[in-house]
Structure 1
């Protein structure tokens, strides 16, 4: 019995050992599987990490490229907007310049449409010639107004050498009646004369210039007749606001209160107006052009033959004093010579001397 129990125990231990060995082998196998699974998982994790890094890098590169593209497009858009703004400003400037050119063109066209704003005058060649010089120079008649103070006189000599001699002596004792005399001073005369004039002209829309008028009529009577004729609507006229007679040209200027009256009258070149003794006279009506001086260049010009005398007291009447001055300065013994003109302005009075071109 005892031997049988021992054998049973050994067999049980053996079986248990075999069972435990099986379990151990199974654990080893499972451990190997687990190790392999961990290795596979680690490999997968490494692959996933690599893929993640590559994907992240690709996303970063794509993001940078996208940002570069967006910046480029933004810069291009800004450039296009700036170019559009500049083109808009240039377009505005061009439109403004076009309007100015159109306005100038309209003025030029208006001036061109005026057939002859300057009244016609009959001209004829008399056989005289002169050097060509500058064909673009507009020649005008020189007429300078020179204000004279009181107690002065202007003397113009025939010879400029005499005038220079009188000026060089400066002080002169002019003998009057008896043993009386006065002391006067001689000075040169400097006048400012224009050398270049620029003028802008424009047609006055409410004014007309009436020319080819009879020369022997009184100016006020003439203006009355013209106003009477051109104020009537049957003659194409209207209410006259003002009128003026140009003494230097012999023409008349009428200004109307209403619009388009002057334009309608100038479309008909000649008008028959009752001016003298129930007899109609053909006058010429043209637009009236007004000018504005925009630039004037001047220079000082010495009057070679004229002398200004100052310090003349009012000791006798003006005519006698002028005669005394002329007699004194005509004598060669006093340094004078032949005199062409004399003008005396007494003390306390003012007058204006007119200087013309010495021809």
Structure 2
């Protein structure tokens, strides 16, 4: 290394000119481009693809149930990931036990894939707690609503894993809108300078709420932003589950082997509105949505697996029934009123509460006690 930085071949950092793809939208297998083949991306095994297919079927059913719960008033808001299923499921399934995951507000499906209780996943969106699961035991950071702030957190966590001498990596999801935020660029720069084993996966669904990608950047693709920080990058068809799994695995291996961070741009599309509070018809056309409907990641992978004889109707119905059972359990538990305690406001703020915090807690406790009806009044 020179005093001005590492001597790196810039061309080695650039993504393939076209997104990596193994399956056409109809499920037909295609040969990867010469550039992708030269980088060693390999078609995943049938067993791995079956696991991804199952995860997407379950994840989408969860997503649909969460959307319904929002309409029923059980959630304050819900950002659907329908259409981005491959990006949600494949990268998370490829993580190892010691790895960390840094999700955004849209990545509830990914958290379910991570094995987190669906009710705990939706706690934030119901308004009970800022995070309903234990980040330490699950090695999963709280869902991040401010755009791109988790990019810095992921870089720091990955650097910590490196300093401890582990081979763990951090996976950080961001959206295309987040790439316009300063935190995204600070995270990439820090990760590159300190050789932190973090993989940034940009789910480019074409819109930052209503702002189209063309209004955000003039780069050939968002993945080209990696070269400015000395970060290896790739772009992938985000609706091709096989390609997403292959590229993310290669990125994890790159990071684990001490080569530093990796940036992936997954080209995908959200089929639903930004959230239940959004009217997507104001900024995109039905023809555009219909075009992406034909690129459904579940339909694509299912067609391939059926064609290979690895999947039949009996197994499809079995997994659908499993997904319905999960949705039914989620619906039942979410329809129960949450038990809330105002004093929880003061938990997990400081290890040792400050005098001001103790004073505020005492004031709230007194007000809360005074607002309760007398015992004898309740008895009547």
Q: Which bracket does the TM-score occupy, shorter chain normalised?
A: under 0.3
Q: Which has the higher helix share?
A: 2
**TM-score for both structures, normalised by structure 2:** 0.21
Q: Which has the higher strand share?
A: 1
Structure with higher Rg: it is 1
